Amino acid sequence: MSEAETAAITRMLHARAEALRTKDAALLAADYAAELVSYDLAPPLVTRGIDRLALERWLAGWDGPVTGEMWELRIDVGGDVAFSTSLNRMCARAKRGKDMDLWVPTTLGFRKFEDRWRIVHEHISVPFYMDGSERAALDLRPEAREDQE
Amino acid sequence: MSEAETAAITRMLHARAEALRTKDAALLAADYAAELVSYDLAPPLVTRGIDRLALERWLAGWDGPVTGEMWELRIDVGGDVAFSTSLNRMCARAKRGKDMDLWVPTTLGFRKFEDRWRIVHEHISVPFYMDGSERAALDLRPEAREDQE
């Protein structure tokens, strides 16, 4: 059964990548549970629930699709609880300001409600340089890690 | 059973807070599974396994205890899989450089092996300011969020 659940969550994540590409805010928002707890790239420390208008505004700020990649996906499932980890790339051309090409360590927490997996927790972040600059490390690539090994 | 598992994980997290205070690297390291995947505050994007020497060095860099608080702890358990979310404060006096007083959104992923919960995933981060500075938001406090509501 765990393989079937893992496959269901994997399909959901691929559908979300496609919804990001086509900027389908409704589809993206529908995967979240009302009890969502988010730790996001920007302040504040935590938000609760999904702000669909903010999501639509964010998607509308990009010129054309928001594309991406998902590396090193791992999904752990136990009963009606699951979590996933992956390195997600997000790329888009800005209408104003800087284009986005960013690798984002991503953790999602899921619960199954009435036979459907929903996201109850989303944690996306980038590390920051502890070199005194305290700048977000927006230029990291997974390859860089492998080069160090 | 879920309540008992939630209680076991809660005890583990409180024991870890105490181990941080007393700088007990052995106890902190023993909670991690060999397959640990970490998304940490500093680069790289991802590390695997626990580097106990690095943990000891980090603890040794602080003058006296590393104290903290844990707010808004939520634990979801399903079978042998669980994850937790919380806002963790970490405070310490630096031997050199800047003291630490930081709120860190924290997600942990757990699996139960041979009747013991272990951490298989750790994701700790701070948001960054999207105001052009791209600086890590090291000054955020949970209270600030509640003031906004």
Give B96-108 pLDDT, tens digit per residue. Answer: 989 999 999 999 9
Look over chain A and give the mean of its residue pLDDT values, rounded to a whole number.
Answer: 94
- Where would I find the H helices in chain B? 2-21, 25-30, 52-60, 142-148
User: Do you find a cis peptide bond into B44, omega within 30 degrees of 0?
Assistant: yes
Partner B, chain A 84-143, Cβ-Cβ below 8 Å: 85, 87, 103, 105, 107, 109, 111, 120-121, 123, 125-130, 134-138, 140-142
Distance between CA atoms of residues B19 and B25, nearest Å? 7
Query: What percentage of chain B carries pLDDT values higher than 70?
Result: 95
DSSP code of B144? H
Q: Is A9 helix (H, G, I), strand (E, B) or coil?
A: helix
Rounded Cα–Cα distance for residues B135 and A136 (Å): 6
Greater confidence, A69 or A148?
A69
What is the three-class DSSP state of A90? Answer: strand
Predicted confidence at residue B1, as pLDDT, reads 62
Give the separation between CA B97 and CA A71, rounded to whole angstroms.
Answer: 36
B134 neighbourhood in chain A, CB within 8 Å: 135-136, 138
Which of B40, B76, B135 lies nearest to residue A111, judging by beta carbons?
A: B76
Q: What is the mean pLDDT of residues A37-46?
A: 97
Distances (CA, A) of B30 to B19, B25, B65, B110, B118: 11, 8, 20, 13, 8
Question: What are the structure tokens assigned to A16, written together?
Answer: 């979300």
Whole-number pLDDT of residue A101: 96
Q: What is the pLDDT of residue A1?
A: 62
pLDDT band per the 50, 70, 90 thresholds, residue B2:
confident
Q: How many helices (H) and strands (E) does chain A have?
A: 4, 6
Residue A56: what pLDDT?
96
> Strand A62-78 and strand A81-94: pairing?
antiparallel
**Phi and psi of A10, rounded to 5°?**
-60, -45
This prediction's pTM: 0.94
Would the CB atoms of B134 and A129 count as touching at under 8 Å? no
pLDDT of B149 over the 80 cut: no
Q: Which pLDDT band holds residue A2 (cuts at 50, 70, 90)?
A: confident
- In the predicted structure, residue A88 carries a pLDDT above the cut 90: yes
- Enter the tokens of residue B11: 């005890």
* pLDDT band, very low/low/confident/very high, at B147 (cuts 50, 70, 90): very low
Specify the CATH architecture of the domain B2-148: Roll (3.10)
- The answer to ipTM > 0.85 is yes
Taking the C-alpha atoms of residue B129 and residue A92, their distance in angstroms, rounded to an integer, is 19
